[in-house]
Amino acid sequence: MTYDLYIGDPSFSSWSLRGWLIFEKFGIPYRQHLLGIYDGRPNAELAELSPTRLLPLMRTPDGILVGDTLAIAETLVERHPENGLWPADPAARGLARWMAAEMHSGFGALRSACPMQLLHVYEGFVASEGVLADLARLEDLLGMARSRHGASGPWLFGAYSIADAFYAPVAARIAGHDLKVGGVAADYVAQTLTDPAFRKWRAMGLERSYDPVPYAKDLPHRPWPIA
């Protein structure tokens, strides 16, 4: 029972990172298909699979094509209830779903100003009021999850869950733009960046080079914090 997972360039495709982490962290068998979307060339396979040309996409073992990370996540929850993709506790599960949905649809200022890139850390980026407001909300959510449900482990709800897959890209945005966050959020960023699965994803991205580099900013930069 192996799924087909279609992803975009690991260094830049934040939504693909979410989908990939769910498969990788929960041991769900998959075949990976990398469809480059940042090299400027038309991708006929992606156009055939998805009229929207958005990734990731998942094809189930019985041939059902599913797009969008929330739809992918919930389809896998239905098919693999034994894998514990959401927290078992109802209160924790409700908050985890809330947080994943809010990340899925919100944080527009942070997303727009700080696209995910896993190449280096920009220095001197000045956050707008909108970005600062998003960071404040993020700190509230992370603090709520950790204080209420995180005592049993290092992730948002103790054990790794879908919520952590959804918040991994924003941790990368914070690191990649050297954004200042409080203790709980800073600890969570460090936890995400040092996770072996995240490091594996970043290493896949470094296998490719780009000219020009997507989302490049005219700012000095230093090396990524975790090699």
Q: What does the pLDDT read at residue 128?
A: 98
Do the two domains 3-83 and 90-203 of this chain adopt the same fold?
no
Residue closest to 155 by CA, chosen among 57, 27, 21:
21
CA torsion, ordered 173, 175, 179, 180, to nearest 10 deg? 130
Asked if 38 contacts 210 with a C-beta cutoff of 8 angstroms, the reply is yes
How far apart, in whole angstroms, are the C-alpha atoms of residue 103 and residue 97? Answer: 10
State in Å, rounded, how far the first CA of the chain is from the last one.
Answer: 34
Mean pLDDT of 158-173: 98
- Whose structure tokens read 């029972």? 1
The count of residues in the chain is 227
* Domain coordinates in residue numbering, the chain: 3-83, 90-203
How far apart, in whole angstroms, are the C-alpha atoms of residue 108 and residue 111? Answer: 5
41 pLDDT higher than 70: no
Amino acid (1-letter code) at residue 37: I
42 pLDDT higher than 60: no
The CATH class of the 3-83 domain is alpha beta
Beta bridge partners of 5: 32, 58
Residue-wise pLDDT tens digits, 94-142: 999 999 999 999 999 999 999 999 999 999 999 999 999 999 999 999 9
How far apart, in whole angstroms, are the C-alpha atoms of residue 3 and residue 129? Answer: 42
183 pLDDT higher than 80: yes
How far apart, in whole angstroms, are the C-alpha atoms of residue 177 and residue 156? Answer: 22
Q: Which fold has domain 90-203?
A: Glutathione S-transferase Yfyf (Class Pi); Chain A, domain 2 (1.20.1050)
pLDDT band at 173 (very low <50, low <70, confident <90, very high): very high
Per DSSP, the three-state class of 5 is strand
What's the whole-number average pLDDT of the chain?
95
How far apart, in whole angstroms, are the C-alpha atoms of residue 64 and residue 132? Answer: 40
H helices of 30-182, in order, are: 44-49, 69-79, 90-105, 108-113, 129-149, 162-176
